Structures are given as C-alpha cells and as structure tokens.
Amino acid sequence: MWQASKANANPHYGVRAMFIETHDSLPLTPDYDAWPVDVSIASIEHQPRELHVYWEDGQFSRYHSVWLRENAADDSTINPATRERILDLSSLNAWPTIDSAALEESGAVCLTFAPEQRPLRFHPGWLRAHDYSNGHTQDAPLVAVTTWRGSDKQAPDTFDANGWLDHPSGSPVDTALLEPALESLLSQGLVRLQNLPTAPGTLADIARRIGPIRPTNFGELFDVKAKPNPDSNAYTSIALPPHVDLPTREYQPGLQLLHCLENSVTDGQAVMMDGFAIAEALRDEEPQVFDTLSQVRWCFANTAQTTDYVWHEPVIRCDAHGELLEVRIADFLRGPLQTDFNQVEPAYEALMALQRRLRDPSFAMRFTYHPGDLVIFDNRRLLHARDAFEGSSGQRWLQGCYLERDEVRSRYRIVQRTKRQKRIATAD
C-alpha cells in the first residue's frame, strides 16, 4: 500500500497537510457545479482498485478505481463543452486500476490509471461531496421531508412576493425569495406566495421562474371558476373532496400552481392535506390497510367525448426502501376495479379506511385565497379540496398550471450552486 501526504505528522492517522488552498489551481469537475473545499485532505493511500482518503477532520473515505476513472473530468472522459461523458469503460484494455497517487499542494489528488497510464486529477471538494463510502447515496433528499397535520400547521409557509417579478430570474432578489420557498415546497410539499400581480396570464411568468410548464388537455394555463356546461367539478361552486389532479396519467403532474386573481364569494375555503402524513398514520396504526393500498392497482379514469385517459396504479407508492413516493387519491376519477376476485373486498375495506382518514379534521389545513396569492404544492403528495361557495355572492377566479418535481429540484440545485460559487469567489 502506497501513502501520500503533503506534510507534517499527525498522531491520529500518520500525516496531515499544512498549506493554503489555491482554488484556481484545482482541477475541473465532471459537472458545472461549485464544490468548496470546506475540509482539506490530510493524506491518501491507494491499492490497485481503491483510493483511501484521510480528511483533516478525521473522516475516512474510500473510492473504487473504476468509479474514479469514470468520473474524471479530462477530455478523454467527458466532452469539456457539455460535461457529458464520452468514455466507454468497456473499450479499455483492462479493468482501470490505480498505478500511482499523489496529493498536490493545491489539495488536488492526482492518480495515474492503468492500463492507459493516464494521469488524472480530482477536486477535493467534489470528492468529499460524493463520498459514497460514508452514506452519500442517491436516495438522500435535497431537503429533509417533514410531514404535517392541519391541527399543527394552520397555514402554509408564506412569503411576500411583492415586486419579485420586477427583478430578473437569477438576480439576488429572485434567489432570496426562491430559496426558502423551494425549501418549504421540497420539505412540506406546499408553499404560499402573496402580493403578486393579478393580471391574467401572470402565472406563466411565475411558473417559468421555476421551470417549463407541463401542458395537459386543459392547456398550459387553466381557469378555475364556475362556468356554464362545466367539464369538471372544479368549474362549479360545489365542494370538492380531497384529491390529487390527473391520477389518470401514467406520470401524474408533480406540481400544481394556483394563482388567485379574484375572490369575493362567500365561503369556498381552500383545504390542503398532507397525503404522506395520512399514509404514515395508516402504516403505523393500520398496517394491513397500508399494505393493501400499496399493492392493489386501482383503475383511474377520465373519459370525455374527445379524450380517454386510463391508468392503473396503487393508491400509495413507495420506493425500494419503503419511503413514500406518491399518493393517488381521487374518488371521482376512479374507474371499475379490475383485480383478483379474492382481492376485491380487502381492497374496498382498505379504501374505506382511507376515506375515513380523509374526513378526519385533524389532517385538514383551511385557508382563504386572497387576490395575489399563489400556492405551489406537490401534486403527488398533497391533497387539495374546496368547500362549497355561494356562486351568486361574488367572483372566484383562480388560474392554474402544472410543473414537474424535477423542475423544483433543478431550480433549487442551481440556487445552491450559485451560493457556493459566491462563497468560493469571496474566499479567493
């Protein structure tokens, strides 16, 4: 085993570095992100198939040689213009192994790989951020998910957006609003902005601050208000039960935005419920119900004269680790259940147990829309509903649209990247 260090002994693990970082001498990374060197590398060791890194704070990291070779940032591995990979590992003459390793004064790690005998440099901040040997896996959320009940949380996290649209996307004012708003959305599935303009169509400008709008058969923007000959219960004044939108699609929209342009009617309060909180209550208190709802594939259907959307999926869906991914709840959009004969009664028993939870007032958050309000919520987690209102008492007009969860995650990563870049620039 070969060991490299920058200087001076350390009684804890042999040697440590004594140097001043020079960020402009650090190598590129295989992405466009910024990776501050918050902790320096003290020393490194290598075997043919592993690199061992000892950090100044005592953390020990291990990286496989094949992983390092594929994630290098030179022009034999990625296209420098796009940062997209061009290396085909199977085209190498043999398994990529480490022939030699050196720790540079800049803090970079330089490895020479066989069979190519190619020296490649690695950024210490990037290595630390991608330390999969210490639990940095792809399953870690950008922001920790926090479930809630209306009995504990009586209103969405709310931010003043007055004047926000007067500033360009990516400006300090834009970022100062988006960062906490997106964190609330990622964590709690819901956020509210207030004091926005109420001109029709403003929603499109707001949505595109986050990402592209997802069009549906309702268009890019849709108007939620009572109208003659409605093609949805949403376009009436009757109460709407808790539901997600478009569970009839193979990939239901990840986000919904509702922007209040007018609201002078009597009643008609908005209702929000955290579907993940309801699912977790079932998992804890009625595990058989939870298991049934996460296994039986229900039919979700929305048929009209010119469209016919049908999809089959469980009401609750989890990932491989049992973490909640989505809920599909919309009684008025369920088609006939088609499942094994012996599953039908247990499926309906589980469905009715869920329906009883939806009537539990402790889960419901109620609030009133005011002109200029905008709510953004996770349509694959949050259930939304509406109390009935008196249609002749005034006007109620919301405009809505859909985005994808991916757009929120992407926008939040860019906000965080910009902060890191500023940190590095300030440090330099």
The span from the CA of 239 to the CA of 268, in Å, is 8
DSSP 75: T
Residues 215 and 328 in one domain: yes
Helices (H), 268-392: 275-285, 287-293, 344-358
Indicate if the alpha-carbon torsion angle 399, 405, 407, 413 is positive or negative: positive
Which residues, 6 or more positions from 228, have their beta carbon under 8 angstroms from its beta carbon?
A: none
Structural domains counted in the chain: 2
The span from the CA of 343 to the CA of 56, in Å, is 58
Residues 229 and 362 in one domain: yes
Report pLDDT for 265.
85
Report pLDDT for 223.
93
Residues 44 and 83 in one domain: yes
Residues 106 and 198 in one domain: no
Residues 273 and 330 in one domain: yes
Report pLDDT for 389.
79
| Whole-number CA gyration radius for the chain | 27
* Domain annotation covers residue 149: no
Low-confidence spans in the chain with pLDDT less than 50:
1-2, 5-23
Joined together, the tokens standing for residue 180 give 């906490």
Q: What pLDDT, in 10s, does the model give residues 297-320?
A: 999 999 888 889 999 999 999 999
* Domain annotation covers residue 419: no
pTM score, two decimals? 0.86
Domain that includes residue 331, residue range: 158-414
* Amino acid identity, position 377: F
Report pLDDT for 2.
45
Spatial CA neighbour of 3 closest among 134, 130, 72, 98: 98
Residues 206 and 297 in one domain: yes
Spatial CA neighbour of 152 closest among 363, 383, 382, 384: 363
Report pLDDT for 250.
95
Report pLDDT for 391.
67
Q: What pLDDT, in 10s, does the model give residues 31-58?
A: 999 999 999 999 999 999 999 999 999 9
Report pLDDT for 231.
64
Report pLDDT for 138.
66
Residues 11 and 101 in one domain: yes
